[in-house]
Amino acid sequence: MQYAVELITAFLGSLGFALLFRVRREKLLLASLGGLLAWGIYLLMGFATDQDVVRYFAASVVLTVYGEIMARVVKCPATLFIVTASIPLIPGGSLYHTMQYFMHNDLSACLAQALTTVLLAVSIAVGMLCPTAVFHLLHRRDYLRNQREKRS
């Protein structure tokens, strides 16, 4: 039940941010579905491991692959999907708790939470980087092949 609520609100939250970021029409739905997918992967990975870093990493890899594929299908920058779909993953909650500890003058807990926040952000960032690098390589290979064919 809790999972269903999380998935639905992940979708709605991404939709809200897609509107904030001024995404248009059919891409609204595709981008918010990316958010749903990302959170789905996070929850699924929960059965395999309880390491948050691994779960966030896996989810961001999948959402970036989704973004890059969608970018090629509907012909627009992959950023549009990646930025919107990563909304449920971004460590806003963790950052909020960091701020809370800071407000309650619990500095050691604040530092620990801050480190967790940065670590989560790093795992998301690295997770996004890997598929992007692969897609770039593929793109480059196609480009070079086209150039060769043009010349011959």
Partner 1 sequence: MGTASQSLPPEEAGCFALLAEAERANEYLYHVLDIGQHMLQCGGEVSRVEDSIQRLCIAYGAERADVFTITSSIVVTIYSHKFGALTQTRRISGQQYDLHRLELLNQLCRRTCGERLSLQEMKKGLEEILAAPQYGFGVQLITYALVSSSFSLFFGGSALDAAASGVIGVMLKFLDQAIRRTEANAFLSALLCSCLGGLLAGLAVRFGLGDSVDMISIGNIMLLIPGLALTNSLRDMFSGNTISGLMRFIEATLLALTIACGFALVAGLL
**Helix (DSSP H) and strand (DSSP E) numbers for the chain:** 6, 0
**Could you say which of 36, 70, 83, 85 contacts partner 1 (CB under 8 A)?**
83
**DSSP classification of residue 104:** T
- Lookup: tokens for 42: 């996070």
- Lookup: tokens for 9: 């609100």
The verdict on 65 binding partner 1 (CB under 8 A) reads no
The verdict on 76 binding partner 1 (CB under 8 A) reads yes
Sign of the dihedral through C-alpha 58, 60, 61, 62: positive
- Map the footprint of partner 1 across residues 5-44, applying CB under 8 A: 5-6, 9-10, 12-13, 15-24, 27
The verdict on 72 binding partner 1 (CB under 8 A) reads no
User: How far lies 143's CA from each of 36, 132, 134, 136, 148, in Å?
Assistant: 33, 16, 14, 10, 9
Contact 110, 98 (CB under 8 A): yes
- Map the footprint of partner 1 across residues 112-131, applying CB under 8 A: 117-118, 121-122, 124-126, 128-129
**Could you say which of 1, 2, 50, 148 contacts partner 1 (CB under 8 A)?**
2
The verdict on 84 binding partner 1 (CB under 8 A) reads yes
Residue ranges that bind partner 1, judged by CB under 8 A: 2, 5-6, 9-10, 12-13, 15-24, 27, 76-77, 79-80, 83-84, 86-88, 90-93, 95-96, 98-100, 102-103, 117-118, 121-122, 124-126, 128-129
